[in-house]
Structure 1
């Protein structure tokens, strides 16, 4: 019979008087309970990281042996942290007390200044006001020189006729200028229609020459003088469109009329025309340049950028 016999794998006999099925269930439960092990605790990585950080901050070398009976790792860390904080506070207390005493010993700036006796020679005491030396008053001749300078700075010559109409005793003042060191920059240029004054500090002699030719309003003379000047000084031929630029500002038709009038006047027989390799028209003076040389220096080098 099955009941009352020992089942293979079991060391317990079944009581024949008990319920067989219930007995088998009880045996299986007992076997499962004997095999079941307690569940391991879940590892908390956040708690482990916090514990490591606290150990690093406190400088602890805790390895598990320093814990008291029944005291876990976090408790040991918290205890060592509290001990370290107490130690640091004890070390900082004397320094804080010394700093407080030093700060208390510092006098306030206003109290210090109020307690100081007044210096006999106070460098900050009110000093007597020093007035600037008065500039020497300008003479009438120097004032007139200043007027001429201002016109020169504006690229204008000052005609003698203009001074006679605007300045009283103009000739007398102009006669005083050469002997006055303050007026040594004032010079003159003789034109066909008038004498012109300008300041060499504000206008070059070359520009004064051009301005004088413009003031004379004799275009033929102006053309001839500039063409001869450029041929002699640089040397170079003078393009006709040169007279369209400042300070001349002549229209093309005026330039053509002037050049035609010059060709009919024997006084300008040395002024001739040429055309360069770019078909641009130039004037040059045979007194200073040959036609071949004037052509060579007027041509544009096609091999240059």
Structure 2
């Protein structure tokens, strides 16, 4: 009995006692084996590269003639490599033997030098800007004259927001008047200014204190509160212009209490030298003093009022 599909020109007889399924499998395997073709030899690029390298090292002039003659390329390379090795061995045998010192390089001499050894052996740099420079000492400052020393004392007090009275200088410094007379002719003392007060003459440095602050400090040193009030009210009206609130004298550097402010203002009223000083109240019920020498009442009131509207 035949199993499987019959093909043209293909006939086979199967033993009836065999397993039908096994027979079919064997037939299919036979057909698949008949269809397979032998694979072409795979080109090995690594082997080819190695062969080319060896040809180059041996200096072979192999041009394919041996391959045409049926000799293997690898065999040719191996043969020529062997011949070259034999030739080099013969040359080495005829040459004189090398001494151990010539044969083995000195590893110590070829090793890299240590950094510190290299720097120690390096030649010194030329044109070193810091080499052999003479030591320079700071120039000695000229010795101060007694007048300049006194000017330094006045400057230190001005830096502390204090004017220096003539009475203090006479008490503290010997020949104070003579030294003070030398200051206008000394360029190192040109910042020392004298200001006459009601009770004394006061000195200050305009490099450390403004003229306006010196005026206030002088008024405080005079301890004449009425004159101080009048002077500051006139100053503010003339310079800014503005009226002066009474609370202004409670601030630094005056530092008066509310009672001292009220007593001073009452003492000023009725005295002819303070007749230009008047009082007004702005729209916030705050009290101000102004000088009629520089401001009218209407103008002083206008600049003292607080705007109650905004755009």
Bin for the TM-score computed over the shorter chain? 0.5 to 0.7
Provide the C-alpha distance between the structure 2 equivalents of 1:207 and 1:82, rounded to a whole number of angstroms: 100
Is the contact between residue 4 and residue 24 of structure 2 (CA under 8 Å) also seen in structure 1?
Answer: no
Tell me the residue number matched to 1:28: 21
Q: Where does residue 222 of structure 1 map in the other structure?
A: 228
Q: How far 1:234 sits from its partner (Å)?
A: 1.3
Displacement of 1:128? 4.5
RMSD: 3.7
Is residue 169 from structure 1 mapped to residue 175 from structure 2 by the alignment?
A: yes
Matched, 1:259 2:265: yes
**Secondary structure in structure 1 of the residue aligned to 2:123:** helix
User: Given the alignment of the two structures, is residue 281 of structure 1 paired with residue 291 of structure 2, yes or no?
Assistant: no
SS at match of 2:232: helix
Gaps of 5+ in 1: 39-67, 87-100
| Matching residue of 1:243 | 249
Q: 1:292 to 1:124 in 2, by over 3 A?
A: closer
CA drift at 1:158: 0.4
1 CA distance for matches of 2:307 and 2:3? 126
For 1:80 and 1:156, how far apart are their aligned partners in 2? 103
Residue in 1 that maps onto 2:82 = none
CA distance in 2, matches of 1:82, 1:8: 53
Q: Secondary structure at the match of 2:280?
A: strand
Taking the aligned partners of 1:123 and 1:168, their CA distance within structure 2 comes to: 53
Quote the residue 2:143 is aligned against.
Answer: 137
1:69 aligned to which of 35, 41, 59: 41
1:22-70 deviations in Å (ceiling 9; x for gaps): x4xx1112224545798xxxxxxxxxxxxxxxxxxxxxxxxxxxxx824
Of the structure 1 ranges 232-241 and 121-130, higher mean CA displacement relative to structure 2 is found in: 121-130
8 Å contact kept, 2:220–2:228: yes
- How far, CA to CA, are the matches of 2:47 and 2:288 in structure 1? 106
1:233 equivalenced with 2:239 (yes/no): yes
Contact 1:188 1:196 in 2 (8 A): yes
CA contact (8 A) 1:220 1:261 kept: yes
Distance 1:124 1:289 in 2: 71
Map of 2:60 onto structure 1: none
Question: Residues 286 and 134 (structure 1 numbering): CA distance in 2 closer, same or farther, change over 3 Å?
Answer: same
Partner SS for 1:168: coil
Deviates more, 1:245-254 or 1:227-236: 245-254
Distance 1:151 1:83 in 2: 102
Contact 2:249 2:255 in 1 (8 A): yes
Distance 1:32 1:223, change over 3 A: same
Gap change, CA 1:8 and 1:230, over 3 Å in 2 = closer
* 1:272 CA displacement: 1.3
Cα distance change of structure 1 residues 197 and 113 upon mapping to structure 2, 3 Å threshold? same
Normalised TM-score (structure 2): 0.65
TM-score with structure 1 setting the length? 0.66
Instruction: Go from structure 1 to structure 2 and tell me whether the alpha carbon gap of 1:231 and 1:35 turns closer, same or farther (over 3 Å shift).
Output: same
In 2, Cα distance between equivalents of 1:148 and 1:84: 101
8 A Cα contact 2:192 2:203, kept in partner: yes
**CA 1:82 to 1:193, structure 2 compared with 1: closer, same or farther past 3 Å?**
farther
* 2:191 pairs with 1:185: yes
Distance 1:139 1:33, change over 3 A: same
In structure 2, what is the Cα distance between the partners aligned to 1:111 and 1:258? Answer: 89
Deviates most, 26-35 or 162-171: 26-35
Residue 146 (structure 1) aligned with residue 152 (structure 2): yes
| Long gaps (5+) in structure 2 | 7-11, 33-39, 55-109
